[in-house]
């Protein structure tokens, strides 16, 4: 069962898929619907193995070089390619001034309202 995910990834040929039923095995509860796969599960089988190895190597590129028999630039390029497949949500603190300007840009407030709020 532990390698079923790898076989599923190979069978789908990296075609898009959705999960339509989830079962909690220890409670015999089934939930039906359409569920999106988590980002790591969307990677190819080879990329999943690479990411798991990277985690097992505690992020050591030197250990990855030895494990896969590849060079430092090859490890870096592969990681960059994999990282490019993920959307990263970055929480950047927004100042009140930036928020006012963003609202103005989106058309949520007028220029006059923006000036008024910026002067406060």
Contacts of 61 (CB under 8 A, 6+ apart): 72, 75, 76
* Domain 4-83 indexed as CATH 1.10.3470: no
Q: Give CA separation, 6 vs 23, 36, 38, 41, in Å.
A: 19, 17, 15, 9
Domain ranges of the chain: 4-83, 94-120
Along the 120 residues of the chain, how does pLDDT read in single tens digits? 446 666 766 777 767 777 888 888 888 899 998 888 888 888 888 899 999 999 999 999 999 999 999 999 999 999 999 999 888 766 666 788 888 888 888 888 999 999 999 988
């Amino acid at each position: 069962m532990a390698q079923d995910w790898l076989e599923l990834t190979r069978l789908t040929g990296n075609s898009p898929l959705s999960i339509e039923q989830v079962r909690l095995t220890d409670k015999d509860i089934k939930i039906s619907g359409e569920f999106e796969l988590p980002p790591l599960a969307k990677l190819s089988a080879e990329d999943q193995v690479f990411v798991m190895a990277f985690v097992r190597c505690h992020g050591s590129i030197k250990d990855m070089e030895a494990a896969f028999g590849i060079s430092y630039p090859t490890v870096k390029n592969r990681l960059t390619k994999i990282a490019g497949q993920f959307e990263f949500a970055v929480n950047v603190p927004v100042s009140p001034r930036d928020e006012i300007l963003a609202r103005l840009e989106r058309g949520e407030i007028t220029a006059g309202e923006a000036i008024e709020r910026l002067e406060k």
